[in-house]
Structure 1
Amino acid sequence: MAAVHTRRRVVNVVALTLSGCATLLGLVFLAWILWVTLKNGLGAIDWKLFSKITAYADQGGLSNAIVGSLVMDAIALLICAPVGVLAGAFLAEYAHRSKLGATIRFLNDILLSAPSIVLGLFVYVIVVLPMSNLTHGAVSFSGLAGSIALALIGLPVIVRTTDEMLQLVPGTLREAALSLGIPQWKMTVQVLMRAATSGIVTGVLLALARLAGETAPLLFTAFGNNFMAWHPLDKMESLPVAIYQYTNDPNPALHAIAWAGALLITLFVLTLSLLTRLLFSRKKVPHE
């Protein structure tokens, strides 16, 4: 017994040490990335970055790219968030152990791991080309097509997290609600989703974080626009595409603007995550 106890303690210490080293290594790389982004992007952030458009090259800014990213990300979330939450609820509560649920989860995992450029080409074929036929041959790149591509990227993330978060809700809540005669759909919406709200919102934020940095699908759908565009049916610039274009240019001034755009994306996702955590932490504080 003493030898077994000693072996378990040694294995436990080794496992804790390795996991701690892995965590520390990940934090070091994360801090390194944040530091490099801050160092290179902070100096390029000024008023003209938010007031001028990319058409003025190294003397311009990213206002049209910021607007385009916000519009396309908002439309994409409006498409994928409700569908993803409802699909995740269906998998967790109605198709938990069925063959249909297993098939949907398998297909969702495939969609989750699919390269974003493939989804961009898919939307190019089913949205951009048909719209081009309506305009007599002119290729109809648009912000709407970009939003649909982004929605396909964010959808499997939300489905997966909603499914897992609802499965983590204790079964006693389901039994208590059903014992009161509440219909299952009402139990899912009013009891289970409320209990898993923080996890579901976290999944939506994870999807938004992924959408904010996608470049490849937007090259085949929204394409880009050096001028300000508000209408979803027009070509739209976005921060990831502007960063991609600027980093391929030999002009150092454009490289600085690209770093500033990368910093804006990082700060946007970080601020949104912190505000959400603060909101839910306040809700958990008991009222006296």
Structure 2
Amino acid sequence: METAKLGAALATAWAAALHLALPAEASGQLPVPPETRTFESPQACAAALDLAAAEDRKQVTPRTVDANGDTREVALETKGVERVDGATALYDSTLWFHNGKFRPELQQTETTHSYEHFLRRCDGGVMTVTGDRGFTLATFDPPSGATEDAKDPLAAWVAAPGHALDGMIELTGKPHGNYHRGYRCPSYEAATFVVSIVEKAHLYEKEPQALRAALLRALSGGNCVPAPAGRYRPLQLGNVSVIDNGPEAEEEWTALRVTAPGGEEIGLVYDASVFAFTD
């Protein structure tokens, strides 16, 4: 739930910060046409709010995991029906629909988040209904359920050539042209969002310079800054987006949860390519 909220906030902030014509599937919101209903009395109007709340509660579904690793969950955000006084009551609710698809190539579950938000308010016997429907950027998480017996993707990633040394990512903090090899983000979720935006950019940008520019804008919008020199311990592997600069020059931007040199857990956007600069 908190991840979905973060996704909504970042998607809104970054859309302005990135100056990108992001494709529709990145995030979106549509208002629901306002509606007015008339009841016989304030009590009847409030009873209709109680009925709406009960219907929402019926939709709540705990997280389930299919045999193939796909997930489903329906969650409800609300304070319930609030009675302001004898003539005024309101019901503000948001239903979140989380649908995960296991991606074997990443050994991660990509989860989409959509929502329905309604504010129903009774003033006397008149109810006004407003709201919106929308969705946020997808998030990436380790597999669960039936996929737990699969090979540990983080261990495989750490063991791959060029990714880490003795289980640690070593960064010099030095720039290479207009970018750094590693960027420190406020959280793992912020790092995955940055990489998601770069991957979305592939749908409408083909030149590596344009994709790099999208990366740098996403990093700035996500408050990700060049990571200081030091050793970072990988804790969780996120999504990956590759920028192809030609033979033996690709960039493999990877989102990770890591322990920073100071001991705190942070997000890291890291060029894990074997061709990445190391000086």
The reply to whether TM is greater than 0.5 is no
* Structure ranking higher in helix proportion: 1
More relative contact order in 1 or in 2 (CA 8 Å, sep 6+)? 1
Structure with bigger strand share is 2
Interval containing the TM-score (normalised by the shorter chain): under 0.3
TM norm structure 1 = 0.24
